[in-house]
Structure 1
Amino acid sequence: MKRKISIYFLVVILMFQFTTLTFAKETVSNSASSAIVMDVKSGRILYQKNIYEKKPMASTTKIMTALLGIEKSKLDKEVKISKKAVGVEGSSIYLGYDEKVKMKDLLYGLMLRSGNDSATAIAIELAGSVEKFAQLMNQRAKEIGAKNTNFVNPHGLHDENHYTTAYDLALISREALRNKDFKEIVKTKLWIADREGYKHFYNKNKTLSQYEGGDGVKTGYTKASGRCLVTSATRGGMQLVCVVLNDYNWFEDSYRLLDDAFNRYEPFCMMKKDGVIQTASVENGKKKNTKIVGKEDVILPLTKEEQKKIMMILKVNEKIQAPIKRGQKIGKARIYLNNQLIYTTDLVFREDIECKNIKDKILDYFSNSNQF
């Protein structure tokens, strides 16, 4: 029998030490009850403080509401506002009963002005009620890996059963920031809605103007939760997300945490999209060989010392049969640091290769015959 799978080991740098990954914990003083800094690309934790403690999250709840709004509705869809979405307690974009508002405008009102009425309108539009929408929120949270989170509403008004952890909220924010529409919304400083009356939505998140590379995400506050903030920033192709919960010094602490991470870690390119990884032979194809390439840019946050210890292992199919298609998956690259898996990505074919036809096989036959 032919072996279908073989493993090829590509050692990027030979120094590979069997130690445990260490993350910064208290290197930066801050007043947050819980805090985390996470790399958006890889999910690697760069700072942590009480990241698994369950806490109320206030309006940072709306990150999940916005993600579901984008995933489950067309942005240009008109939403008819119900009575239950009018006059909701707290921040508002002043929706009117029976008013028709595009989903896009509701999302901008949700994330820039923190409209609780907008959150309620989105929930009712997508699920029929706040309660049913909370079920969707919890289902999506579990899919993302946020196992210690429970939503009971789409806006974050206090409820004893409405909570998250810094780690879970970072996971949810990371998932949202990988969505191009969400990413565009939260980095917008001003949005003019297509409606009468209150339509100029200025972003409450000072990160966009105060912090170099700041591009998100959401503020939140209730008396029970204290000040909660999710910030994101991108420098040198590396995007980080920072979560602080119950932090009276929320913006300043977030900036210090992000500064520390950007100073200690550098964006290290492990793989370029369409960059050639290796050559593979093709059976029964019009071409005998093809290139295996990376599916995406893989840029990881690493310290200078860690860059000396990184290793990549490739696992690809040994026997490749035509036909093949450009972008078709052929294997995986697994990246390890100190014997710990930190990232996995797909390897793909760079080109289309068709099967040999009868004419090709006849030419091959005579070509091989002439060699004797």
Structure 2
Amino acid sequence: MKRVSALLLVLVLLCPAADAAGPSTSAASAILIDGGSGRVLYAQNADEERPIASITKLMTALVAVECHPELSDVVTIRSEWTGIEGSSMYLKAGEKLTLEALLYGLLLVSGNDAATAIAGYCAGDSETFAAWMNEKAAQLGMEHSRFTNPSGLNEEGHYSTAADMARLARAVLEHETLARIVSTRSVSVAGRSLTNHNKLLWQYEGCTGLKTGYTEAAGRTLVSSAERDGQTLIAVTLNDRNDWADHAALFDYGFAGYPNTMLALAGRAVSAVPVSGSLCRFVPVETVSDVYYPLTEGERVEAKIELPQAVTAPVQAGETAGQLVFTLDGEVIGETELVYNQSVSDDRAGPGLLEGLLNRLRGGA
């Protein structure tokens, strides 16, 4: 049987409380989330379905690397993949490039030809690839998104939301190769010098990517991320004429008002469980992993320790004992396993308890 003990932690942070309204933006839709936990720190029409332009290419890149992880493979460019309208990396028919080079052209200079080539190489055609994009969107819980092409060019039925694009950005940043590419300021690949369109990489300290977009129908769209003191924030704005400044303001708001707060550290003893069948009366338990969560001033976190009423020897160090669960307003915000941090022998199998104790006091076996 498990015993559950609960204690209420009132975290008084040495930072100003977040402004409940958050910063004002010029965007039709906007969102700011904590990248580690997914907590929404600011939202404005975040579930409103809108055209998204070239930030579409984040999904194109994610689907490409998941369905074809060998990025060193060489792609021969077909004529139908060239001359696509809009932004371009200027591919030529018959040219040979690695898939990785195409991803740089896709994500740094927003090449619509690169998007078409990637889709054609991976799936055979853009229509099939778009279906794969929609399957991935469903897996990520992007319930208000639909993709009809890999580039983001205006097309009826092609849309997403700020909230859904933030979910996508989290998935992209979890992929090591894509995180490296979207954070690249400039690179020379396939005989081309490519410079990232994301000016925040130069303008905002700690910016780590991701992607810009623009069409007349969508306006300026931007998905960006920034890291400070181990905390990553993700901002998305749709149809925002002042997106560079708005993203900087959103990041400043998030880092100042919702710092990543330590709730538990790995390897810390938090309790002990009574032991029967051993000279050792209690066995300590410790946390397995760190737990952090973005909190603003005055928020109250409840910690519940779930452990057995008692355990019978033998006990092996490292065995799972229970868990430590943190909740905020009734919602689970973090948890870590609890394990026994030492082994306990079964003293019933050898000499009597008294004899065993005397042996130990004498230094015997």
Structure 1 contact 103–122 (Cα < 8 Å) conserved: yes
RMSD: 3.3
2:362 corresponding residue in structure 1: none
- Counterpart Cα distance in 2 of 1:7 and 1:184: 46
- Counterpart Cα distance in 2 of 1:351 and 1:104: 45
Q: Does 1:299 align with 2:295?
A: no
Task: List aligned pairs for 1:219-258, cutoff 5 A.
Answer: 219-258=212-251
Q: CA deviation at 1:315?
A: 4.2
- Counterpart Cα distance in 1 of 2:321 and 2:77: 48
- Find the partner of 1:189 among 170, 185, 189: 185
Q: CA deviation at 1:83?
A: 3.2
Amino acid at match of 1:88: I
Q: Say if 1:68 and 1:10 are closer, same or farther in 2 by CA, change over 3 A.
A: farther
2:351 corresponding residue in structure 1: 366
Amino acid at match of 1:294: V
Which runs of 5 or more structure 1 residues have no equivalent in the other structure? 16-21
Deviates more, 1:132-141 or 1:266-275: 266-275
Q: CA deviation at 1:271?
A: 2.2
- Counterpart Cα distance in 1 of 2:124 and 2:322: 43
Could you say what secondary structure the match of 2:58 adopts?
A: helix
- Counterpart Cα distance in 1 of 2:33 and 2:214: 22
Structure 2 contact 327–334 (Cα < 8 Å) conserved: no
1:18 corresponding residue in structure 2: none
Structure 1 contact 271–294 (Cα < 8 Å) conserved: no
Which runs of 5 or more structure 2 residues have no equivalent in the other structure? 12-16, 358-365
**After superposition, what is the alpha-carbon deviation per residue over 1:240-266, rounded to whole angstroms, capped at 9, x for unaligned?**
111110011111111112212222222
Structure 2 contact 258–294 (Cα < 8 Å) conserved: yes
Q: Does 1:44 align with 2:39?
A: yes
Structure 1 contact 229–250 (Cα < 8 Å) conserved: yes
- Find the partner of 2:56 among 54, 61, 84: 61
Amino acid at match of 1:229: L
- Counterpart Cα distance in 1 of 2:352 and 2:229: 53
- Find the partner of 2:256 among 253, 263, 271: 263
Q: CA deviation at 1:368?
A: 4.6
Could you say what secondary structure the match of 2:171 adopts?
A: helix
Amino acid at match of 2:337: L
TM-score (norm: length of structure 2):
0.83
Q: CA deviation at 1:278?
A: 4.6
Q: CA deviation at 1:154?
A: 1.2
Q: CA deviation at 1:183?
A: 1.8
Q: Say if 1:298 and 1:148 are closer, same or farther in 2 by CA, change over 3 A.
A: same
**After superposition, what is the alpha-carbon deviation per residue over 1:121-166, rounded to whole angstroms, capped at 9, x for unaligned?**
2222222221111121111111111101001111111112010111
Q: Say if 1:332 and 1:144 are closer, same or farther in 2 by CA, change over 3 A.
A: farther
Q: Say if 1:47 and 1:325 are closer, same or farther in 2 by CA, change over 3 A.
A: same
Amino acid at match of 2:198: N
Q: Say if 1:149 and 1:280 are closer, same or farther in 2 by CA, change over 3 A.
A: farther
Structure 2 contact 145–161 (Cα < 8 Å) conserved: yes
- Counterpart Cα distance in 2 of 1:268 and 1:311: 14
Amino acid at match of 2:205: E
TM-score (norm: length of structure 1):
0.81
Percent identity over the alignment is 35
- Find the partner of 1:155 among 146, 151, 161: 151
2:303 corresponding residue in structure 1: 312
**After superposition, what is the alpha-carbon deviation per residue over 1:195-237, rounded to whole angstroms, capped at 9, x for unaligned?**
2x32x22111011110121111110000000000111111121
Task: List aligned pairs for 1:20-35, cutoff 5 A.
Answer: 26-35=21-30
- Counterpart Cα distance in 2 of 1:301 and 1:171: 17
**After superposition, what is the alpha-carbon deviation per residue over 1:291-341, rounded to whole angstroms, capped at 9, x for unaligned?**
44233x3322111222xx112234467769989796x8765543222x231
- Counterpart Cα distance in 1 of 2:314 and 2:172: 38
